[in-house]
């Protein structure tokens, strides 16, 4: 770690010569690139690293280290704030305080989260919000999609209102959307991120984005976990307590309206007019975090608000979440501990789901925009007009199962099914190895048919199996992996290994070699005992 910090410090000296006198720096006089350019530009990777090193040199509560590397080999910085000895997982977890992880720039054209987190970290280094350290440790990854951040173009997200001098691209350098990679983990960035989840085990994860599409009247929208297999106490905390409290505080303090994420589909989609959320599958960060029994919050600043307002709305949101978390740290930890303690063995769990309509219509604030020209490209940008039109409509903001399976006692994965073993290890799912050959009665999925998507998505032709479980007497070879479902990551193990899961190993075509001309799914399961 010492050599890494030295290399980062050398970079910061290059970019910020005044670091040599860091202890005397007035941090309020150190602007981000967005601030110094009057919000026409966004901060580059090198500037982010340099900025972080100024903060770590001037504060005894801020530490930084790489948590992994991008496809092109850029170190991904993790910034730690709190009463800790250093930035190591051992030091952070050793405090036994609430751990909150904030991730920005997963989509590098959505840069307001990156700028907001740099501003917030500067504020912390200046001594503001010092009370947070009494009950929590903050972990911030301000530039997750580092390679995408450097692919600046004035034609990325052209209708978004700035930064008018361009921003990065949505995917990483492999052309993968990192917010679709949480289950298949085909990118080094996703593997690095999940190592953070495994090593630091944050209780809460906040994921910062910029929305697109519908012209609504909110400065920011948000979402909790949307997968129906999420422990009920997690969304109970978010929907009943935390999100309403934060929304009310921001309205009272800043006069801005926030609400649950949604879009009103165009009539061409031929669906009832309503406020529709996005997706329940754990390929998305907030749903994945929920299946890990942790508290997820998705933040979506409004695309057509000015760049400056998007940065501010994001920073206000994170600040108020942290204020709430500081005060209610014990209650949040209790929710996480409750979720970890509950076994899902023998319960019916969703493998597929559909949007669920609210019982009654709700008031949604619709908005309007003005068209402006980007002065450097001539392309049309949309700018939020300060207009809000309430409209009553049904909300499609949650999901209900369309197909379920009973969670088994355990799964048995062939020892030579290397890709399955790799994913279990990468996700941190516990398993043991069968020591000697044994014969037992298990459930085996008989494949009746299969469907493969004609077009690739994220580099994979998604696969769907059709069939049924049947009881069978089988011989398990020594070296077979036994994956118990009675473990904290049991919900995730279930979604990853079930053959009919809409976001598991089968769906992502990762088991195609093993499934070729196979009559049965290669992974067996032990029925839950009554």
Q: What 3-state class would DSSP assign to 64?
A: strand
Does position 24 have pLDDT exceeding 80, yes or no? no
> Among residues 128, 291, 133, 119, which one has the least CA distance to residue 205?
291
Distance CA 325, CA 62 (A): 19
Does position 25 have pLDDT exceeding 80, yes or no? no
HEC sequence for 451-501: EECCCCECCECCEEEEEEEEEEEEEECCCCEEEECCCCCHHHHHHHHCCCC
Contact between residue 524 and residue 410 where contact means Cβ atoms under 8 Å apart? no
Determine phi and psi for 511, rounding to 5 degrees.
-105, 15
Question: Which pLDDT tens digit goes with each residue over 71-113?
Answer: 999 999 999 999 999 999 999 999 999 999 999 999 999 999 9
The mean pLDDT value of the chain amounts to 94
Q: Radius of gyration (Cα) for the chain, nearest Å?
A: 24
Distance CA 33, CA 36 (A): 5
Query: What's the pTM?
Result: 0.95
Question: With b meaning 16 or more CB within 10 Å and e meaning fewer, what string describes 514-528?
Answer: bbeeeebbbbbbbbb
Confidence band of 68 (pLDDT split at 50, 70, 90): very high
Distance CA 364, CA 218 (A): 9
Neighbours of 46 (CB within 10 A): 14
Question: Across-strand partners of 526?
Answer: 410
Domain chopping of the chain, boundaries: 2-353, 407-526
Helices and strands of the chain, counted as H and E runs = 15, 19
Does position 491 have pLDDT exceeding 60, yes or no? yes
Query: Residue 29 has what pLDDT?
Result: 77
Question: Which pLDDT tens digit goes with each residue over 115-127?
Answer: 999 999 999 999 9
> How large a percentage of the chain has pLDDT more than 70?
95
Contact between residue 77 and residue 272 where contact means Cβ atoms under 8 Å apart? no
Does position 13 have pLDDT exceeding 50, yes or no? no
Does position 238 have pLDDT exceeding 90, yes or no? yes
Query: Residue 26 has what pLDDT?
Result: 79
Q: At a CB cut-off of 8 Å and minimum separation 6, what does 23 contact?
A: 57, 58
Confidence band of 269 (pLDDT split at 50, 70, 90): confident
Question: Across-strand partners of 382?
Answer: 371
> What integer is the mean pLDDT of 312-319?
98
Q: Going by DSSP bridges, is the β-strand pair 98-104/204-210 parallel, antiparallel, or unpaired?
A: parallel
Does position 466 have pLDDT exceeding 50, yes or no? yes
Sheet containing 481-484, strands listed edge to edge, beginning at the edge strand earlier in sequence: 432-433, 481-484, 410-413, 524-526, 438-452, 463-476
Query: Residue 20 has what pLDDT?
Result: 38
- CATH homologous superfamily for 2-353? Zn peptidases (3.40.630.10)
The burial of 253, by beta-carbon neighbours within 10 Å (0-12 exposed, 13-18 middle, 19 or more buried), is given as: exposed
Does position 174 have pLDDT exceeding 70, yes or no? yes
């Amino acid at each position: 770690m010492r050599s890494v910090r030295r290399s980062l410090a050398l970079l910061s000296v290059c970019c910020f010569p005044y670091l040599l006198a860091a202890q005397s720096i007035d941090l309020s006089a150190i602007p981000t690139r967005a601030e110094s350019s009057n919000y026409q530009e966004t901060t580059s990777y090198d500037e982010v690293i340099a900025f972080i090193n100024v903060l770590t040199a001037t504060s005894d509560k801020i530490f930084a280290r790489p948590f992994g590397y991008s496809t092109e080999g850029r170190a991904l910085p993790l910034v730690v704030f709190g009463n800790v000895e250093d930035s190591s997982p051992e030091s952070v977890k050793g405090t036994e305080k609430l751990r909150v992880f904030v991730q920005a720039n997963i989509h590098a054209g959505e840069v307001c989260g990156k700028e907001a987190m740099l501003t917030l970290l500067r504020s912390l280094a200046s001594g503001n919000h010092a009370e947070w350290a009494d009950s929590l440790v903050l972990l911030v990854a301000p530039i997750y999609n580092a390679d995408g951040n450097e692919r600046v173009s004035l034609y990325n997200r052209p209708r978004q209102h700035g930064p008018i001098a361009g921003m990065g691209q949505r995917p990483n350098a492999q052309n993968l959307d990192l917010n679709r990679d949480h289950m298949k983990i085909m990118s080094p960035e996703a593997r690095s991120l999940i190592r953070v989840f495994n090593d630091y085990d944050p209780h809460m994860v906040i994921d910062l984005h910029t929305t697109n599409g519908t012209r609504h009247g909110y400065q920011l929208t948000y979402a909790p976990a949307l997968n129906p297999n999420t422990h009920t106490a997690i969304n109970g905390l978010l929907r009943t307590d935390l999100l309403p409290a934060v929304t009310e505080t921001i309205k009272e303090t800043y006069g801005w309206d926030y609400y649950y994420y949604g879009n009103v589909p165009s009539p061409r989609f031929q669906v009832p007019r309503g406020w529709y959320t996005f997706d329940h599958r754990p390929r998305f960060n907030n749903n994945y975090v929920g299946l890990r029994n942790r508290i997820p919050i998705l933040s979506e600043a409004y695309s057509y608000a000015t760049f400056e307002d998007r940065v501010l709305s994001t920073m206000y949101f994170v600040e108020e979440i942290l204020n709430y978390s500081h005060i209610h740290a014990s209650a949040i930890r209790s929710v996480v501990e409750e979720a970890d303690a509950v076994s899902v063995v023998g319960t019916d769990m969703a493998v597929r789901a559909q949007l669920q309509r609210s019982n009654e219509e709700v008031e949604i604030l619709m908005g309007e925009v003005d068209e402006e020209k980007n002065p450097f490209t001539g392309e049309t940008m949309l700018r939020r007009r300060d207009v809000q039109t309430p409209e009553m409509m049904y909300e499609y903001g949650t999901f209900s199962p369309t197909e379920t399976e009973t969670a088994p006692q355990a799964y048995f994965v062939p020892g030579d099914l290397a890709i399955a073993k790799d994913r279990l290890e990468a996700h941190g799912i516990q398993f043991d190895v069968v020591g000697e050959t044994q014969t037992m009665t298990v459930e085996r999925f008989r494949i009746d048919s299969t469907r493969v998507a004609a077009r690739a998505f994220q580099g994979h032709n998604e696969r769907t199996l059709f069939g049924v479980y049947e009881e069978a007497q089988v011989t398990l070879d020594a070296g077979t992996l036994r994956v118990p479902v009675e473990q904290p990551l049991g919900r995730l193990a279930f979604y990853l290994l079930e053959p009919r899961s809409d976001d598991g190993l089968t769906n992502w075509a990762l088991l195609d070699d093993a499934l070729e001309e196979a009559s049965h799914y290669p992974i067996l399961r032990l029925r839950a005992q009554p």
